[in-house]
Amino acid sequence: MSEVVWIARHGHRQDYADLGWRRQAERPHDPGLSAAGVIEAQDLAQCLGAELIEHIVASPFLRTVVTAAHVATALDLPINLEAGLGEHMSSKLFKRRPNPLSIGEMADRFPQIDRHYHSQVIPQFPETKTEAITRAGQTIQQLVQTFAGPLLIVTHELIGKGSVWGLVNQRPPVRFPTCGLTKLVHEQGQWKMAFTGETSHLSQPRHPIPEIWNYLLRQIIHH
């Protein structure tokens, strides 16, 4: 059983930096990282490179995989892609079920990916905010039982919150800025949050999320 869990949100998204990107993208539902997001991911990798992390599990969306790949290189670890950590399957975000690239396609691009890992939880589409939080909690509960040793999860804002709340009682306030870190520790039979929303490892000021995205995310996450 894992007794230390790090949870990181992906870096700044490509479509946050270029609002016109989605109109011409082949896969508009699955952006990668912006130039700022790549720097954030590199900073995250440098921060975690000195930590005793033994396993990396990431959402299968491109932005989380790219973020995880930087850390995996620093730690010399494989990446396990877990659908249960994937983006909130909201009909407000997606007109139809978003399909990340297959494990094979991802592994061709990112050799750190373990081709043999199979997801433990498959999200339904569409799902409500409550259902997404519940799904995230169920996923992390299974992951900490599956993996022994310190575990890093790379995921999305709402799913990060649900992951914390799946382990820590009383649903404490949590923060997940891009490439921000939250740390959970299992002590004396219960999970405790050591810190949340840590960004001191980032070398540049946080890059803004366009107001149109902020508005949509507020509607989905905070209502």
List, as one string, the DSSP characters of 7-37.
EEE---BHHHH-TTHHHH-SSTTS--B-HHH
pLDDT at 9 over 50: yes
Check: CB of residue 141 under 8 Å from CB of residue 166. Answer: yes
Task: Give the pLDDT band of residue 17 (cuts 50, 70, 90).
Answer: confident
List CB contacts of 153: < 8 A, sequence separation 6 or more. 5, 6, 7, 8, 57, 58, 85, 140, 143, 160, 163
List, for residues 177-196, the tens digit of each pLDDT value: 999 999 999 999 999 999 99
**pLDDT tens readout for residues 39-90:** 999 999 999 999 999 999 999 999 999 999 999 999 999 999 999 999 999 9
Whether 106 and 81 have beta carbons less than 8 Å apart is answered as yes
> What local confidence, expressed as pLDDT, does residue 64 receive?
98
CA distance 113 to 97: 23
CA dihedral 15, 67, 119, 109 (to 10 degrees): 90
- Where does the pLDDT of residue 22 fall: very low under 50, low under 70, confident under 90, or very high at 90 and above? confident
Confidence label for 210 from pLDDT (cuts 50, 70 and 90): low
Strand order, beta sheet including 190-198: 79-81, 55-58, 151-155, 4-9, 181-187, 190-198
- The yes-or-no verdict on residue 214 having pLDDT over 70 is no
The residue behind tokens 């930590």 is: 51
Which CATH superfamily, name and number, covers 4-221? Phosphoglycerate mutase-like (3.40.50.1240)
Quick check: 30 and 46 in contact, CB under 8 A? no
pTM: 0.93
Q: Is the pLDDT of residue 37 over 80?
A: yes
Burial of residue 147, with CB atoms counted within 10 A of its CB: 0-12 exposed, 13-18 middle, 19 or more buried: middle
pLDDT at 207: 67
pLDDT, position 16? 81
Q: How confident is the model at residue 211 (pLDDT cuts 50, 70, 90)?
A: low
CB atoms within 10 A of CB 114: 16
| Whole-number percent of the chain with pLDDT over 90 | 83
Q: Residue 212 and residue 3: Cα distance in Å, rounded? A: 39
